[in-house]
Amino acid sequence: MGRISRRALLLGAGGAAGWYGARRFGSHLPVLDGAGLTVPASGDGILNDASGLSPTPIHRHITLSQDPGEALITAIRAEIREASAEGRPVNIGAARHSMGGQAIPREGHAITFDNGMVEADTANGTYRAHAGARWSQIIGVLDPIGFSPKVMQSNHDFGVAATFSVNAHGWPVPWGPMGSTVRNFRMVLPSGDLVTCSRTENADLFTMAMGGYGLLGAIIDMEVEMVPNQRLLPTAQVMPAQDFPAAFDAAIRSGEVPMAYGRLNVARAEFFEEAILVSFRPDADQSDLPAAESSGLMSHLASYIYRWQLGNEPMKHLRWWTETVVGPALGNGPYTRNSLMNEPVETLGDRNPTRTDILHEYFVAPDRFDDFLTACREVIPGSYQEFLNVTLRHVAQDDESWLSYAPVNRIAAVMSFSQEMTPRAEADMARMTRDLIDRMIEIGASYYLPYRPHATVDQLVATYPRAPEFAAAKRELDPDLIFRNNLWDSYLGAL
């Protein structure tokens, strides 16, 4: 049996106790009688995303699996020409895990990349990958030769160019978003021209496309930095939530911690009052690293205990005990860096057709973290939503991306809600989101763009002050607005 990842262990270690608790303490979710379930449209001509709430009509959906050479470039140019002639948009996606149609072109040509080409260059510490290569495929190539992605999303299902296009971050430290690790990429522009973009060649296109949501063109392939894989040992510290920023900063500044994350207690009675910091340090023994594996059985146990929290405050207390007491006692490792990141998003997936998981993410400067805690305590518990989890990560300052969410070093708070698939829940989520974003703006924090489109245009501009400049540059590059998605249609196109 392969070694169990710490993340699955922390969530799944209380599986047996959770089973008892789920039987002992029932759920107290609101009844659905008369609520009117939302049933998204589906079938040919409809594309949705991870929210299940973004059914969008499209002209057609094609999958391109060619290597990043002339055949792929020719196919993309053909789609651009046909779409342009008919006045339809184009957009490219991989897993389409965004939650508000950010990778879907309404009434347009939706392209999915499906090619796992990865070529490592150990001399330069980089790898070249097809834009659609999934992180699981990248780990699969780098792991046997002793390397690891420098920064990737926390799950391995997503495409490398998609990660760059939303400029996602991960939990390796002390780096910033994934875009900071990209050396260069090739992209087909709306004109059909093929260009190479880097920090020295077409630099404006490079920094616009970093977090540009695929609105500038079709990325073909990328050269990205990698680092040596390592065997790591975890250490867990439990503390009052307000003490987390100082402890997190100390771990990062030590130079001894290549990976770290935190969590907060989400039980309503102690909401955001207590934190845990899990930091990983290199083991003295770095020989014969085992192959990267996912957590298998423990992933299913993790999913059960995670789901048993729904409407069940005793289970939330049990999960926190699992993470702060059982996990540290059992999960002493070691784990390899690649195994820690080699987790599918389905680990915590919801299979209940009446509910959907919705993510929020906020980025707050460490010196305003206490204000962040206060804002969340005053806004979230009064909502209609079931709050399941918040993970805390480090994001280093990003001065490159035009739509940067981290103009200074920030703590990322990745929040997971379980939302009822009803109009009443969607309306409440929209209200709560806008209230929370207002509070974030007051304390100089930012919100992330790949999730439900509940923010106002004014809130987007207040959070991303270069958004109007981005929209103007996009129109100059793409006067026919060929590359579009819901982020453009609902927000940037109004600027």
For the full predicted model, state whether its pTM sits above 0.85.
yes
Rounded Cα gap, residues 452 and 415, in angstroms: 13
Q: What order of strands is seen across the sheet that includes strand 90-93?
A: 60-64, 109-113, 90-93
Of 180-189, 236-245, 318-327, 408-417, the poorest mean pLDDT is in 318-327
Q: Give the pLDDT confidence score for residue 386 in this predicted structure.
A: 95
Structure tokens at 175: 């780096």
Q: Give the pLDDT confidence score for residue 296 in this predicted structure.
A: 56
Q: Which residue has the tokens 């977090």?
A: 211
Q: Give the pLDDT confidence score for residue 462 in this predicted structure.
A: 98
Tell me what the mean pLDDT of segment 392-400 comes to: 98
Q: Distance of CA 309 to CAs 143, 241, 268, 314, 418, Å?
A: 35, 21, 12, 8, 10
Tell me what the mean pLDDT of segment 85-114 comes to: 96
363-390 per-position pLDDT tens digit: 999 999 999 999 999 999 999 999 999 9
Q: Which residue has the tokens 């999913």?
A: 303
> What phi and psi, each to the nearest 5 degrees, are found at residue 277?
-115, 125
pLDDT band at residue 7 under the 50/70/90 scheme: low
Provide CB contacts within 8 A for 354, sequence distance 6+. Answer: 32, 37, 420, 421
> What phi and psi, each to the nearest 5 degrees, are found at residue 254?
-60, -25
pLDDT band at residue 329 under the 50/70/90 scheme: confident
Handedness of CA 20, 24, 28, 31 (dihedral sign): positive
135-155 per-position pLDDT tens digit: 999 999 999 999 999 999 888
Rounded Cα gap, residues 77 and 193, in angstroms: 9
- Percentage of the chain modeled with pLDDT above 70: 92
pLDDT band at residue 16 under the 50/70/90 scheme: very low
Q: Give the pLDDT confidence score for residue 237 in this predicted structure.
A: 96
Provide CB contacts within 8 A for 257, sequence distance 6+. Answer: 173, 251, 279, 280, 281
R_g over Cα of the chain: 22
Burial class of residue 300 in the structure, from the number of CB atoms within 10 Å of its CB (0-12 exposed, 13-18 middle, 19+ buried): middle
> What phi and psi, each to the nearest 5 degrees, are found at residue 442?
-60, -30
Q: Give the pLDDT confidence score for residue 392 in this predicted structure.
A: 98
Structure tokens at 27: 């759920």
Provide CB contacts within 8 A for 43, sequence distance 6+. Answer: none
Q: Which residue has the tokens 């160019």?
A: 161
Q: Give the pLDDT confidence score for residue 28 in this predicted structure.
A: 80
Closest CA to 447 of 483, 491, 482, 477: 491
Q: Give the pLDDT confidence score for residue 349 in this predicted structure.
A: 67
Q: Give the pLDDT confidence score for residue 1 in this predicted structure.
A: 35
Q: Give the pLDDT confidence score for residue 2 in this predicted structure.
A: 44
Q: What amino acid occupies position 286?
A: Q
Rounded Cα gap, residues 109 and 65, in angstroms: 16
Looking at every residue in the chain, the average pLDDT score rounds to 92
208-238 per-position pLDDT tens digit: 999 999 999 999 999 999 999 999 999 999 9
Structure tokens at 195: 């260009």
412 bridge partner residues: 363, 393
Please give, one letter per residue, the 3-state secondary structure of the chain.
CCCCCHHHHHHHCCHHHHHHHHHHCCCCCCCCCCCCCCCCCCCCCEECCCCCCCCEECCEEEEECCCCCHHHHHHHHHHHHHHHHHCCCEEEECCCCCCCCCCCCCCCEEEEECCCCEEEECCCCEEEEECCCEHHHHHHHHHHHCEEECCCCCCCCCEHHHHHHHCCCCCECCCCCHHHHEEEEEEECCCCCEEEEECCCCHHHHHHHCCCCCCCCEEEEEEEEEEECCEEEEEEEEEEHHHHHHHHHHHHHCCCCCEEEEEECCCHHHCCCEEEEEEEEECCCCCCCCCCCCCCHHHHHHHHHHHCCCCCHHHHHHHHHHHHHHHHHHCCCCEEHHHHHCCCHHHHCCCCCCEEEEEEEEEECHHHHHHHHHHHHHHCCCCCCEEEEEEEEEECCCCCCCCCCCCCCEEEEEEEEEEECCHHHHHHHHHHHHHHHHHHHHCCCEECCCCCCCCCHHHHHHHCCCHHHHHHHHHHHCCCCCECCHHHHHCHHHC
Question: Quick check: 350 and 357 in contact, CB under 8 A?
Answer: yes
